[in-house]
Amino acid sequence: MVRMYCRGIHGGRNLCEDCRDLLHYSERKLDGCPFKDSKPTCAKCSVHCYEASMRARMRSVMRYSGPRMFIRHPVLAIAHVSDRRAKSPGKVWGI
């Protein structure tokens, strides 16, 4: 996700220094996270382990990459298409 963000926003082929820092930071934090693999997403996580500045940066990464991941993910992409065909999003998501 950070990679996607960096390519899109910072334009480089490889991760820039800032984004590399952010990625390493998030990996370190995940290592220390009490929820580990069963962790939902950081937005829902009850332990706010990120420092404020890093959290703000991660939030903009999520905002940028989130919708793009959603579209790129094949299963969700199919749901996305049938969603449009059904003309009623509620039917697809059961809400």
Among 1, 3, 7, 16, interactor with Zn ion by CB under 5 A: 16
Task: Check binding of 6 to Zn ion (CB under 5 A).
Answer: yes
Cβ proximity of 62 and 56 under 8 Å: no
Cβ proximity of 43 and 62 under 8 Å: yes
Task: Check binding of 19 to Zn ion (CB under 5 A).
Answer: yes
Task: Check binding of 91 to Zn ion (CB under 5 A).
Answer: no
Task: Check binding of 4 to Zn ion (CB under 5 A).
Answer: no
Q: How many residues bind Zn ion (CB under 5 A)?
A: 4
Q: How far apart are CA 31 and CA 13, in angstroms?
A: 27
What count of other Cβ atoms lies within 10 Å of the Cβ of residue 12? 10
Where along the sequence are the contacts to Zn ion (CB under 5 A)?
6, 10, 16, 19
